[in-house]
Chains A and B, each alone.
Chain A
Amino acid sequence: MATTNALPTRKSRRMTRTNVLQFVLRGRAFIALILVVGYFAITLWPQFLSVGNIEIVSKHVAQNALLAIGMTFVILTGGIDLSVGSIVGLTAMIAGMLINKGIIIPALGVVLYPSVWMIVVISVAIATLFGAINGFVITRFNVAPFIATLGMMYIARGFAGLLNNGYTFANLVGRPELHNTGFEKLGAGELLGINYSIWIMIVFALVAWFITTRTPFGRHVYAIGGNERSAELSGVRVKRTKLLVYMISGFCAAFVGLIIASQLVAAHPATGNTFELNAIAAVVLGGTSLAGGRGSIGGTIIGAFVIGVLGDGLVMSNVSSFWQMVIKGAVIVLAVIIDQVQARMQARIALLQQQEMG
């Protein structure tokens, strides 16, 4: 018995060490964020932590975070949405067209110029419809999400180009006599000194967090990603849930398109090119499993901030854009490696605790 008396203290010390490591690994996205911010805060002192810069970075993050929020829903079901970047471009172009050209109704020979509010509603509705088409193709025809949304990526980008033959809609300020001014406020406007796009991100993140954690729909999203067949046999309407998930993704992408078009006061058909990859990276960095069923909105937001801060920080540090790509890529892969390490670690810690107890 003498030897066993000595054991617990040694074990519990080991426990605390593993506890710390566990804490570090679990909060890795957050810690990565602190490290990245800390690094640039020191190397780029003082301008990196200036109010102006924080706002610029947050504005950049907001765009990616919005896409990533929608993408989180999709990935939680075990799907993927490659079309969001193109839908960003398409929405921007639709908004641009509605402001500069209006809706031409040939039968009546009139041109309708919708107000800015109507423009937002129409372009968001169309983007959501494109998401719904994704979901429809995936659920009714059993097309793999990768393929269905890859197709939509081309289709939406093609439409974006067609709307103005590949040209930009410039100077989207509207005309007072048409009562369609004010579009630029969406990107430039502020509430309590904070840019609208950041507010939109905050609201979307909170709503998405509530949906994923506190509604049957959210629970169903996780269940489908975890075991689609079981979910179906439990009475979860799998097809409807999946359809909604792609609609949410399109809906989020629409706001990104509007924000960008508004900030630039112009809509270019290539807007949002490859944005889908940044969004996926943010989701994965935030600890959501590409296989579905595991992950969180909170993680995604942190993931988006890591990518955003890293990107802007590297630009400000005058790192060549090629090195930026190398670093970003390495960070993403590293994140997934740590994810795997953490999963194994967690299992081992549970074992230790088990041994402690019995």
Chain B
Amino acid sequence: MTQQDTTTPSAPSSPFSDPVVLRAENITKVYPGTVALDNVNFNVYRGKVNVLIGENGAGKSTLMKILAGVEQPTSGHIFLEEKEIHVRDILAAAAQGIGIIFQEMSLCPNLSVAENIYLAREVKQRGLTIDRKFQKEHTRELIQHLEQDIDPDALVSDLRIGQQQIVEIARALAQDVRILIMDEPTSALSTAEVAVLFRVINELKAEGVSIIYISHKLDELLQIGDFVTILRDGKLVETARAADISVAWIIEKMVGKNPASLFARTEQYVGEVLMRVEDLTLPRAGGGFVVDHVSFNLHAGEILGLYGLMGAGRSDVVDCLAGIRPEATGKVWINDQPVLGTTVSERIGSGIVLVPEDRQREGLVQPMSVHDNILLASLKSYMSGFFLAPGKEKEAVQEMVKRLSIRVANVNQPITSLSGGNQQKCVVAKALLTTPKVLMLDEPTRGIDVGAKSEIFEITTRLAQQGYGVIFISTELKEVLTMSDRILVMSKGAITGEFSRQEATEEKLVAASAVGHGLAGTTEPHGATTNNGHN
């Protein structure tokens, strides 16, 4: 990473001499509740990786959807090779040679890999039936090119999420594109898979394909990007050559804050043992254990980090504790009182509450308002007689909005109108209103921007200070290291390491998380490991 300061480009429209292939001019997009894009001018340079970055809700995905024809701009123009184009839908964009890899997986789980790759572009025999053989062979070639071992006939639902993302990438490659939009393509990929993707991107560049690349992983962006464009609050802040800037510069532009203050946490008082877990076990269908006889203590006021690779069982531990897995066995005590209930509502009653990993699928009720979402888990506390008391409800919601500084104009707004970070705060608010003792946060910072992340960190720290026992799960090593008073590392369902805040280092955590795996993690396919770290 370079650490030089920037040379700010002067002219706003096309500050660089490189040829522009696609130009978005004065794009404005208004959604209910937000101006997603405000008069944005964006240039895509030919044969380059054009990185787009910004906080959640900064408008990156919206801009990409407009370029790909998924959304229509409220106003503004798009020029391809200096000719104005109108992309009415994704097929029109494809006809212009613009392809997109979506942030949310857009595969059909009930179809095979090959069928997905050729979906809506089926290769036909005699213009009638699908040429399965051709599709299968080409799929196999594409997958091999991505150094993966996925059967073209495999159902997408049978693939793990990283493999699904590879299929998504292969699908984009199967089209003849001159502009390829990648919206967070690496969010579920292992390091080795990312390396392969970057190799493919470089090949595409060599062929003259222009790439638009969106990601939250900042160091990754500087590694692959040629141009970096920063969006904030729907406005374009700056475009610069990747060679001229640093991670610190990006963060500063993104949030307008000094990044050092983002990840800082002071030592704090840790109290008595709050929760005792003994022999927590979750058998795996077909033998073995998802959670393998796990025992640990959690203290009041402590943030206990839980780290492990994908599939190591960290989420399963908190799922078991939250009562989501009724087949789990083991003993749990809170303040030396045994926790007997096994259902989610009983566990919430005992003071154990989970903020689940998948916000959209497990955290929110989309058609409901902010107000109703926040209260959902604790309605019984806001009743008078048989009925809910709107006054009490409103008071509780307002207090939470203030306490977690949830940015919302009106609590009766639909929850979907909030940004990811604020949605997450609502899920945390919902958990807090159940008056828990143990708060389990499973990847609370997933898919939210740097600013919201630091807010979630602040909130977590404050909650620990108030005496809650907090279990904090993250795949980001740095996050676990900064946040935790103590870290448990898991591998293959068992605890393979325990480190105090002082002892813990990245190396130690990684080593402990690989116990029982040999050198490579199980989540990484064997074919890809040879390529590791050489790009």
Q: Which residues of A contact B (CB under 8 A)?
A: 210, 214-216, 219-220, 222-223, 225-227, 229-237, 289, 293-294, 346-347, 350-351, 354-355, 358
Contact = CB atoms under 8 A, between A and B. Distances in A.
B325 to A, nearest CB: 12
B270 interface: no
A358 B376 contact: no
Contact of B354 (A219, A223, A233): A233
B269 interface: no
A354 B345 contact: no
Contact of A350 (B33, B343, B372): B33
A319 B8 CA distance: 77
A227 to B, nearest CB: 4
Given A234-B430, A236-B345, A350-B33, 4 more contacts: A214-B388, A222-B368, A226-B365, A231-B365
Nearest to A239: B343
B388 A219 contact: yes
A355 B30 contact: yes
Given A230-B361, A233-B362, A234-B377, A219 B34 contact: no
A226 B356 contact: no
Contacts of B383: 216
B397 interface: no
Contacts of A223: 365, 368, 372, 376
A303 B324 CA distance: 39
Contacts of A235: 344-345, 347-349, 377, 434
B3 to A, nearest CB: 38
A287 B367 CA distance: 14
A229 B379 CA distance: 18
Contact of B379 (A216, A237, A354): A216
Interface of B: 30-35, 74, 322, 324, 343-345, 347-349, 354, 356, 361-368, 372, 375-377, 379-380, 383, 386-388, 430, 434
Contact of B356 (A219, A233, A350, A351): A233
B361 A219 contact: no
B335 to A, nearest CB: 20
B387 A351 contact: no
Contacts of B74: 351, 355
A210 B387 CA distance: 8
A215 B375 CA distance: 12
Contacts of A214: 387-388
A226 B356 CA distance: 17
A351 B31 contact: yes
A358 B348 CA distance: 43
Contacts of B361: 227, 229-230
A229 to B, nearest CB: 5
A351 B30 contact: yes
Contact of B35 (A232, A347, A354): A354
Q: Could you tell me the dominant secondary structure of chain A's interface residues?
A: helix
Contacts of B388: 214-216, 219
Which 8 A-B pairs give the minimum distances between C-beta atoms? A350-B32, A216-B379, A226-B365, A235-B345, A234-B377, A293-B367, A214-B387, A235-B348
Nearest to B417: A350
Contact of A226 (B347, B354, B367): B367
A7 to B, nearest CB: 14
9 contacts: A214-B387, A214-B388, A216-B388, A220-B379, A226-B367, A234-B344, A236-B377, A293-B368, A351-B32
A229 B362 contact: yes
A219 B372 contact: yes
A293 B415 CA distance: 13
B393 to A, nearest CB: 10
Nearest to A353: B32
B30 A231 contact: no
Contacts of B367: 222, 225-226, 289, 293-294
A354 B365 contact: no
B353 to A, nearest CB: 8
Nearest to B74: A351
A237 B343 CA distance: 9
A293 B362 CA distance: 15
Contacts of A358: 35
A242 to B, nearest CB: 15
A354 B362 contact: no
Contacts of B434: 235
Contacts of B35: 354-355, 358
B368 A236 contact: no
Residue of A225, A227, A232 with most partner-chain B CB within 10 A: A227
Contacts of A220: 379
Contacts of B348: 235
A215 B387 contact: yes
Contacts of A346: 32
B344 A354 contact: no
B322 A233 contact: yes
Given A216-B388, A219-B388, A233 B324 contact: yes
A223 B364 CA distance: 9
* Residue of B343, B344, B348, B375 contacting most chain A CB atoms (<10 Å): B344
Contact of B34 (A231, A237, A354): A354
A289 B368 CA distance: 13
A230 B345 contact: no
A351 B383 CA distance: 36
Contacts of B345: 235-237
Contacts of A355: 30, 35, 74
A37 B368 CA distance: 34
Contacts of A232: 344
Best-buried of B345, B364, B367, B386 by chain A (most CB within 10 Å): B367
Contacts of A236: 345, 376-377
Nearest to B353: A235
B414 to A, nearest CB: 10
A293 B365 CA distance: 9
Nearest to B324: A233
A233 B368 contact: no
Contacts of B365: 222-223, 226-227, 230-231, 293
Contacts of B364: 227, 230
B387 A219 contact: no
A277 to B, nearest CB: 25
Contacts of B366: 226-227, 293
Nearest to A349: B32
A230 B362 contact: yes
Nearest to B365: A226
Contacts of A231: 365, 376
A285 B31 CA distance: 28
